[in-house]
Amino acid sequence: MLFRTLTALTVALGAHIPLPTHAQGVPMDRTALITSRPFDVKIVANGIDVTAKSPVLSVKYNADGSGTRTLRNGASISGSWRFTNDEKTKIEVQGPEGTSRWIVVELNERIYRKVNLDTGVEFIHVPQGQ
């Protein structure tokens, strides 16, 4: 509950969230963390898991700014993405439904979590197979 409250405040205020970017003391490249593998997707809205209602099964971000969503029906949808600030804590994603803006709330080798700046919906990306 506390995390949801902090996330909502952070999103509402557009505040900077310092994210750990070190593993065993070694700096980690945020772009590499996002683009090194495909992710399974979990979607949370107002604290409720709504993953089953989404057609999105997994996503893959590429270092060149392109990306692909794999849907439950097996179809692939292309899009693009980019960091929108130097700290790489904000991301913009473009797809067939338009552009969405996100704040990255957690990013490491085990998880990539982002919250939509306009809706507050949270996407939890976990490397496939974990």
pLDDT for 74 equals 96
The yes-or-no verdict on residue 66 having pLDDT over 60 is: yes
Between 12 and 60, the more confident residue is 60
C-alpha–C-alpha distance, residues 16 and 9, integer Å:
11
Q: How far apart are CA 115 and CA 43, in angstroms?
A: 10
Which pLDDT belongs to residue 26?
A: 53
Res 7: pLDDT: 45
What distance in Å separates the CA atoms of residue 105 and residue 49, rounded to the nearest whole number? 17
Domain ranges of the chain: 2-13+29-127
- 126 neighbors 111 (Cβ within 8 angstroms): yes
Contacts 24+ apart (CB under 8 A), 52-57: none
Q: Does residue 67 have a pLDDT over 90?
A: yes
pLDDT tens-digit map of 8-53: 444 444 444 444 444 455 557 999 999 999 999 999 999 999 999 9
Cβ neighbours around 55 below 10 Å, total? 11
Q: Specify the pLDDT at position 6.
A: 42
To 5 degrees, how large is the angle CA 96–CA 79–CA 72?
75
Q: Which CATH superfamily does the domain covering 2-13+29-127 fall into?
A: Domain of unknown function DUF4822 (2.40.128.540)
What pLDDT digit, counting tens, does each position of 75-125 carry? 999 999 999 999 999 999 999 999 999 999 999 999 999 999 999 999 999
